[in-house]
Amino acid sequence: MALDVLNDLNQIRNIGIMAHIDAGKTTTSERILFYTGKTHKIGEVHEGGATMDWMVQEQERGITITSAATTAFWQYKDKTYQINLIDTPGHVDFTVEVERSLRVLDGAVATFCAVGGVEPQSETVWRQADKYNVPRIGYVNKMDRTGADFLGVCAQIKEHFGATAMPVVLPIGAEDKFEGLVDLIYNNAIYYFDDKTVRDNFELREIPESMKAEAAEWRAKLIEEVASTDDALMEKFFDDPDSITPDELLAAIRKATMSMQIVPMLCGSSFHNKGVQKLLDYIMAFLPSPLDLPPVTGINPKTDEEVERRASEDDPFCGLAFKIATDPFVGRLAFVRIYSGKLDAGSYVLNARSGKRERISRIYQMHANKQNPMETVGAGDICAAVGFKEIRTGDTLCAENAPIVLEQMTFPEPVIGLAVEPKTQKDLDKLGIALSKLAEEDPTFTVRTDEESGQTVISGMGELHLDIIVDRLRREFGVEINQGAPQVNYKEALTRSVQHREVFKKQTGGRGKFADIIFELGPAEEGKMGLTFVDEVKGGNIPKEFIPSVQKGFEAAMANGALAGYSIDAMKVTLKDGSFHPVDSDQLSFEIAARNGFRAAAPKAGSVIMEPIMSVEVVTPEENMGDVIGDLNKRRGQITGMESKGNARVVKAKVPLSEMFGYVTVLRTISSGRATSSMEFSHFEEVPANVAKDVIEKANGKRKELE
């Protein structure tokens, strides 16, 4: 039976479940595992027993932190389908996990809460899925809760995302009366019993009399919507709408889902085991297989030409390592999505980024944190590889004789830092090893040493992110640490151009040091990052071999700005002229001259401090709205919008991160615990003068203490 699956790529589905916090992603994943026969007992998130949330930190907090991958099989229309399922986190601090999962998935199930509807993080993940063109179906969960409104959520999706959210089922009853679904495609009703021990906890019946009219109305809408994407169906629809068979309808919806014209909507209550089997059926019916997708394109690094790879075992091997994880028993695992060819255990592959050969000693099919060893894995599948030396997130692995580089993933900049030091001296080495392992796993987590204070500073996407990192250090790696207060990652920027001459002279008997450069320093062009270096030196006034040293000096100087020592992201230097001494000049002299020149010229080039601004969204009862807005204004926030959602009000604002520490606690106090907030990074912006003065004084005060 397993062979039947592997030979046919049409029967593989690589899907992820994405949603806002608490919409029920992990609970839905757990039910999928139960109904596909992977687990024999249902794990519950709130009891800390979920299979997919296997990290201790996840079980304690009841949230998902790392995307867990698992493989399961499902019978649909007499065929066995293989599902590679990735359960992604919902919390904004772990956005990167969702990002890299969507990059390698073929389809997604966007889950919504039937009461909350479209929440801020649902918008973030929806935008991420748009970015990677991932077709999706919607699943409205928690239909048993008070205030559940399936059609209302479908309308919200239309309104917020402009997507055509088409119900393919209707709920029978709602809230505590929710009993089952009307299937609009097959025109029948499914009644569920809340039984956690059996897999077939439903029976098919006639549509109840009270719903026949509503079901007919929505079925007609569905057929009309789908028929507009398919001409043959359109003709049939005009002749006789009843002549359209369920299979024709399924095929047309599938086509329209893959071209992202419609989003089929389903509903259920995962916790009460209602609606999950239907969801599984329709994942198979509507979401693409690896064959339905266009071939992947990449660049051949040797010729710089574009090359294609089809999802077939005949093409040369290529795959993308989208996640690195550390397992206590197996060591480092690289999760790989295979796009073409096949990967054998014990074979050699080429890492296109580093240009080095890597041996893949073993391959596993994953089940959360357990592994099943495999001999070979073919195109379209997802596996975990072991035994490599250096593979990072986002690396392309390919056959040695057919190199290819697939599109890289981009990750957001960390915005918040924390100074850490080991409690005892013997933990020092352990800390270094642990931090480098964690940085390897998570591209949004960075470690650096502060040059002036010698402190180790770790940076991440938010307070929760760093909190989890510190907890993992303690538990997984047994390192006890002292941590400082969270710091904001400020940056510096230049606002105008200035010309400057820098002469560096040193005479100490014997050979001296000499360099002389004239340059223009200023802001880089819009959208360009790093150093833009232009060489305009004429007539060999500075020999060619010294020019790279000047560039290197400026690059090094960008790490420490002139105002408060924060890094500069982008600047432009034009080297105009200069002179040299035939004996005393060397590369180092010119490098030092560039560094000194930057320090002297940057204050004149209008250096400013930039701070991270966050998009904040607060959902609050109407009576507390005034206090919430007043508090945000106090935090230098700009209110960007207000809207109503049910009985609550949504306030959107842009607020500097430095003002948001401890916000959750204050918000609870203001609203007596009824308001909720979420925030994500928006952009960097110049700091007002009075605040900049404090930031510079603090930074320079630190420096003085050290001196």
Give residue-wise pLDDT tens across range 172-222.
Answer: 887 788 888 888 888 888 888 877 677 778 888 888 888 888 988 998 888
pLDDT band per the 50, 70, 90 thresholds, residue 3: very low
* Backbone dihedral region for residue 428 (phi beyond 0: left; psi -120 to 50: alpha; all else: beta): alpha
* Backbone dihedral region for residue 157 (phi beyond 0: left; psi -120 to 50: alpha; all else: beta): alpha
Helix (H, G, I), strand (E, B) or coil at 188: strand
- Between the CA of residue 98 and those of 61, 121, 475, what are the distances in Å? 19, 11, 25
Task: Tell me which residue of 495, 492, 528, 520 sits closest to 696, measured CA to CA.
Answer: 492
Q: Which residues contact 528 (CB under 8 A, 6 or more apart)?
A: 570, 572
C-alpha span between 2 and 80 (Å, rounded): 8
Q: Is the pLDDT of residue 89 over 80?
A: no
Helix (H, G, I), strand (E, B) or coil at 211: helix
The CA-based angle 382-383-385, given to 5 degrees, is 145
C-alpha span between 251 and 244 (Å, rounded): 11
pLDDT tens sequence across 351-375: 888 888 888 998 988 765 567 888 9
pTM for the whole thing?
Answer: 0.70
Q: Which helix (H) or strand (E) holds 234?
A: helix 231-239
For residues 357 and 370, the answer to whether their CB atoms sit within 8 Å is: no
Range with lowest mean pLDDT among 28-42, 264-278, 432-446, 498-512: 28-42
φ, ψ (nearest 5 deg) of residue 499: -100, 145
What's the rounded mean pLDDT across residues 545-565? 87
C-alpha span between 610 and 607 (Å, rounded): 10
Q: Residue 380's pLDDT is what?
A: 86
Q: Which residue has the higher pLDDT, 409 or 396?
A: 396
pLDDT tens sequence across 668-701: 888 887 777 777 788 889 999 888 888 888 877 6
Q: Is the pLDDT of residue 654 over 90?
A: yes
The CA-based angle 324-132-304, given to 5 degrees, is 80
Q: How far is CA 33 from the centre of its chain?
A: 24
C-alpha span between 169 and 266 (Å, rounded): 6
Q: Which residues contact 603 (CB under 8 A, 6 or more apart)?
A: 562, 563
pLDDT band per the 50, 70, 90 thresholds, residue 328: low
φ, ψ (nearest 5 deg) of residue 80: -95, 125
Q: Residue 620's pLDDT is what?
A: 84
pLDDT band per the 50, 70, 90 thresholds, residue 452: low
Q: Is the pLDDT of residue 706 over 50?
A: no
Sign of CA dihedral 392, 407, 82, 20: positive
Which tokens belong to 398? 């390919």
pLDDT tens sequence across 141-179: 988 888 888 899 999 888 888 888 899 999 888 778 888
What's the rounded mean pLDDT across residues 303-327? 84
Over the chain, what is the mean pLDDT? 82
Beta strands in 263-390 (DSSP E): 263-267, 296-299, 306-309, 318-327, 331-340, 342-344, 348-351, 356-359, 362-367, 370-374, 376-378, 382-386
Helix-, strand-, coil-residue percentages of the chain, each rounded to 5: 30, 35, 35
Percent of the chain whose predicted confidence (pLDDT) is above 70: 89
